[in-house]
Homo-oligomer: A and B are copies of this chain.
Amino acid sequence: MERIPILKMGDFLLVTIQVDLYDQLAENLETDLVNSVKKYESKGVLIDISSVSIIDSFMGRILGNIGMMSKIMGAESVIVGMQPAVAITLVELGLTLTGVSTALNVEKGMDLLRSKIELSDNQSDYDDYDDDTE
């Protein structure tokens, strides 16, 4: 199976990573994800890594890339379900997943996404207000 499925759930996209990411698979995932964000005008991306028990610098970089790409496309992203051992490994390896938010599980991740989106909506409302008064 060559592609990781991307599930649309309302304004969000959900990706569950269950297999080891190799170059082509990771590249396909990145392409599919930005295309889906555009297609569905998604506001947030949830990446579930609860079945990932081993993480390396490649995987860390891919997760970071996905976060940045989503951000550029106007969608927030949250990584959910990280196993404790993975968190330990990340810190010990010095991989900090810069710019990527995390949450304990899918539900908390959705809440976090909603609050982020609300915040950025309010921010843009405020910007609009500024423009009007100038």
- Footprint of B on A, CB under 8 Å? 1, 3-5, 7-10, 14, 16, 18-20, 48, 50-53, 81, 105-107, 110
Contacts and interface: CB of A to CB of B under 8 A. Distances in A.
Nearest to A46: B7
Task: Count this chain's copies in the assembly.
Answer: 2
Interface of A is mostly: loop
A105 B8 CA distance: 8
Given A18-B4, A18-B16, A107 B48 contact: no
Contact of A9 (B1, B18, B81, B107): B107
A19 B5 CA distance: 11
A48 to B, nearest CB: 6
Contacts of A53: 1
